[in-house]
Amino acid sequence: MNNQTFYKPGDSIFHRCDSRTKLAIIVGVTLLSFLFFNPVVPAVLSIVVFIFNFISTGRYAFTNSLTKLFIVTIFLLVLIHGFANPIGKTPALFFGHEFTIPFFGTFSLEGAYFGLTYGFRVTAIALVSLLYISTTHPTEIVKGFTKLGVPYNIGFMILMSLQLIPISSREAQIIISAQKARGLVERTIWDKIKGLVPLFVPLVVISMERMETMAMALEARAFGSSSKPTPLYKVNFSAKDFVIVIFFLVISVAAVVLRVKCGGLNWIGNMHGWSNLFLPAIRG
Amino acid sequence: MAAVLEFKNVNYTYPDRKEAALKNINFTVEKGEFVGIIGPNNAGKSTICRTTNGLIPNSFGGELKGSIFVNGENINDKKTALLAQRVGMVFSDPEAQLSQMSVWEEISFGAANLCVPKQEIFSRLENVLKLLKIEKLRDRSPFELSGGEQQRVAIASVLAMQPEILVLDEPTSNLDPQGTEEVFAAVKDLNKKSNITVVIVEHEIELLAEYADRIIFMNNGEIVLNGPPSEVFHSIDIFDQAGMNIPQVTETAYILDKTYKKWGNAPYPMTVDEAYEKFSAIK
Ligand SMILES: Nc1ncnc2c1ncn2[C@@H]1O[C@H](COP(=O)(O)OP(=O)(O)OP(=O)(O)O)[C@@H](O)[C@H]1O
Ligand SMILES: [Mg+2]
């Protein structure tokens, strides 16, 4: 639609599948990343979901702000937990030396393990959410919710407000350039704040007019005259949706069974060196 | 000929307003007519449009007196949704009217809200796509189109409800010249080829002069002039007082007439072609 939303039009498998299928993927990935307490599972999930993103939106999988933000987040979590998490016992060796920040602590393997686990968990969930919002048109998102039982009118109103955001911010851009053309200077922060006033008044007026038109146009097309408008799709849920949902269901069930039988696959109590971050130590 | 739309002694005041927005409005629109409404700002043009499909008084409130008939049936106290399928309305802001994911869903939206069966909706869809020459836009997002295309989608989306009359409130005022030309050509086609009755508020006077069967000139909530374009544009003083323009060729003829007494009795021209003929006659 435009650069104010995450949505990127396309024709990938994820664009074509039902929005409820994508919600199921989100639930599956969230469950899987929280079932086990080690960095490997959420890291693998993050990479897989990143590949999904790359398949569906190509370069946007790298360039979007969310992916960048979460790479930084992983790094920060590892740093903070590595130095400060009281769980830390085994110092990590950097070329044979421990690394200590005075009053803060020594960088520990357990802390790093902890930080990586949480970092990859939130990253996997963020990336799978990105997959959802970048391949699903806002209308389709709302329709998905209506199909899951949210009332039609409420879903529609959410949708209309979503659409107002990009339109309004484009309008704001136009007003700002118009005012700069008339000599509005923005050198200091104070200038910027003062500049908001002449921006706001026309923006509010325009938005009010626009909402009036929106409401009128909806009424003029009999919106709300029936709570059950004619459905225009046959079945949205196709064979590929079934395959995807069943695939995630099977993996999730298998993971739950594994969790019950073997516990959380947690080896934080048995750390000896850097390699143990991603590989449990061989017994002995 | 039967009147498709009739206003009888209509008066209307918006809530919390002292002055009436419509004062004693009387006019009729016949089947298949192309009627243009013109007038300065705040004349009451939009207000007239809103009364035809019940937005006034249903959504705006206020006091509406007098009677409005659509195909002989009094529509006072009818619900907007019921009137939606009888009076199709198009507004000036193209984006604010569109809400769906694709052009075809946009066009089907109104008919679906009226619970028209799906097969019927799809056959109407094909039909209006062709009428407005937007078959190619079918699967595009309405928000990625040019203004002229968006406006044609908006027109198609109300036509799919098969209204008895099409009312357009300044459909070209947000468009560039090319979009304006596109939309006007489309509306003219609908009127001339498909015999759809059109009431259009428009400030492109040149275009109205060429296409409209009749022009209604409003000022201060009243109808000041109502007649064929040649007659209406002859009352140049009234336009002057209201600060409105008339077609440039008409004004030229007026000046020739008044200043140089070089005109005679013929009506003033309104289009460039007419002007060419008549101007070459005077030597
Ligand atoms: N929603 C409203 N509430 C109150 N008063 C209104 C409302 N809309 C219009 N009016 C008033 O009613 C009168 C007629 O307005 P209307 O919008 O019909 O004029 P218009 O001819 O369409 O003008 P324009 O060329 O600016 O669109 C004006 O005095 C206006 O201020
Ligand atoms: Mg108006």
DSSP bridge partners of B12: B22, B64
Q: Do B113 and A232 touch (CB under 8 A)?
A: no
DSSP bridge partners of B8: B67
Q: Do A226 and B82 touch (CB under 8 A)?
A: no
Atom of ligand 1 nearest to the CA of B16: 4
Q: Say how far apart CA A205 and CA A217 lie, in whole Å.
A: 18
The verdict on A129 and A261 lying in the same domain is yes
Atom of ligand 1 nearest to the CA of B44: 18
Q: Report the separation in Å between the CA atom of B61 and the middle of ligand 1, taken as the mean of its atom positions.
A: 14
Q: Say how far apart CA B137 and CA B129 lie, in whole Å.
A: 9
Instruction: Find out whether A72 and A126 touch, Cβ atoms under 8 Å.
Output: no
Taking only the tens place, the pLDDT of each residue in A10-19 is 888 888 888 8
The verdict on A170 and A219 lying in the same domain is yes
Residues of B (135-164) whose Cβ lies below 8 Å from A: 141, 143-144, 154, 157-158, 161
Which numbered ligand comes closest to the C-alpha of B44?
1
Mean pLDDT of A173-181: 79
A147 in a structural domain: no
Query: Is there a cis peptide before residue A9, judged by omega within 30 degrees of 0?
Result: no
A144 in a structural domain: no
- Which of A205, A226, A247 is a domain's end point? A226
Q: Do B50 and A230 touch (CB under 8 A)?
A: no
State whether residue A213 sits within 8 Å of chain B by CB. Answer: yes
Burial group, residue A208, by CB count within 10 angstroms (0-12, 13-18, 19+):
exposed
Taking only the tens place, the pLDDT of each residue in A211-230 is 888 888 888 998 877 777 88
Dihedral sign for Cα A145, A147, A151, A153, please: positive
In the chain, the amino acid numbered A135 is T
The verdict on A57 and A17 lying in the same domain is yes
The verdict on A122 and A251 lying in the same domain is yes
- Which of A226, A242, A261 is a domain's end point? A226
Taking only the tens place, the pLDDT of each residue in B122-158 is 999 999 999 999 999 998 888 889 999 999 999 999 9
The verdict on A170 and A203 lying in the same domain is yes
Instruction: Find out whether A160 and A214 touch, Cβ atoms under 8 Å.
Output: yes
Q: How confident is the model at residue B251, as a pLDDT?
A: 80
Buried-exposed string B9-48: b where 16+ CB fall within 10 A, e elsewhere:
ebebbbeeeeebbbbebebbbeeebbbbbbbbeebbbbbb
The verdict on A263 and A164 lying in the same domain is no
A59 in a structural domain: yes
The verdict on A121 and A168 lying in the same domain is no
Q: pLDDT-derived band of residue A1, with 50, 70 and 90 as boundaries?
A: very low
A133 in a structural domain: yes
Q: How confident is the model at residue A3, as a pLDDT?
A: 45
Q: Say how far apart CA A221 and CA B98 lie, in whole Å.
A: 11
In angstroms, what separates the C-alpha of A71 from chain B's closest C-alpha? 33
Q: Pocket residues for ligand 1 (CB within 6 Å)?
A: B 14, 17, 21, 39, 41-47, 60
Taking only the tens place, the pLDDT of each residue in A87-116 is 878 888 888 788 888 777 888 888 889 999
The verdict on A160 and A120 lying in the same domain is no
Collect all residues of chain A within an 8 Å Cβ-Cβ radius of residue B161.
221-222
Q: Report the separation in Å between the CA atom of B157 and the middle of ligand 2, taken as the mean of its atom positions.
A: 21
pLDDT at A52 over 80: yes
Instruction: Find out whether A134 and A55 touch, Cβ atoms under 8 Å.
Output: no
- Which of A226, A248, A269 is a domain's end point? A226
Q: What is the tally of structural domains in chain A?
A: 2
Question: Nearest-5° angle of CA B150, CA B183, CA B243?
Answer: 115
> Which of the 8 DSSP states describes residue B270?
-
A13 in a structural domain: yes
Q: pLDDT-derived band of residue A283, with 50, 70 and 90 as boundaries?
A: low
**Strand B214-219 relative to strand B34-38, pairing:** parallel
Mean pLDDT of B230-236: 84
Nearest to B174 by CA among B211, B206, B202: B202
Among B115, B143, B144, select the one facing A229 at the smallest CB separation.
Answer: B115
Q: Say how far apart CA B117 and CA B103 lie, in whole Å.
A: 19
pTM: predicted TM-score of the whole model, two decimal places:
0.72
Instruction: Find out whether B170 and B147 touch, Cβ atoms under 8 Å.
Output: no
Atom of ligand 1 nearest to the CA of B221: 14
> Which of the 8 DSSP states describes residue B228?
-
Atom of ligand 1 nearest to the CA of B49: 18
What six digits make up the tokens of A34?
């929280």
Q: What are phi and psi of A100, to 5 degrees?
A: -120, 135
The verdict on A19 and A46 lying in the same domain is yes
Q: Distances from the Cα of A185 to the Cαs of A182, A194, A202, in angstroms?
A: 9, 10, 18
Among B95, B105, B144, select the one facing A232 at the smallest CB separation.
Answer: B105
3-state SS class at B225: strand
Q: Say how far apart CA B210 and CA A183 lie, in whole Å.
A: 42
What is the DSSP code string of A251-264? Answer: HHHHHHHHHHHHTT
Q: Do B93 and A209 touch (CB under 8 A)?
A: yes
The verdict on A77 and A188 lying in the same domain is no
Taking only the tens place, the pLDDT of each residue in A196-206 is 777 778 778 88
State whether residue A273 sits within 8 Å of chain B by CB. Answer: no
Taking only the tens place, the pLDDT of each residue in B69-115 is 999 889 888 888 888 889 999 999 888 888 887 899 899 999 998 99
A196 in a structural domain: yes
3-state SS class at B250: helix
Q: Say how far apart CA A231 and CA B117 lie, in whole Å.
A: 9
The verdict on A172 and A254 lying in the same domain is no
A146 in a structural domain: no
Among A139, A216, A232, select the one facing B55 at the smallest CB separation.
Answer: A216
- Residues spanned by the domain of A263: 1-139+234-284
Which numbered ligand comes closest to the C-alpha of B15?
1
Residues of B (66-95) whose Cβ lies below 8 Å from A: 79-82, 84-85, 88-89, 91-93, 95
Q: Say how far apart CA B24 and CA A25 lie, in whole Å.
A: 63
Mean pLDDT of B18-32: 94
> Which of the 8 DSSP states describes residue A203?
H
Q: Say how far apart CA A56 and CA A22 lie, in whole Å.
A: 13
A145 in a structural domain: no
3-state SS class at B73: strand
The verdict on A17 and A114 lying in the same domain is yes
Q: Do B118 and A159 touch (CB under 8 A)?
A: no
Q: How confident is the model at residue A27, as a pLDDT?
A: 92
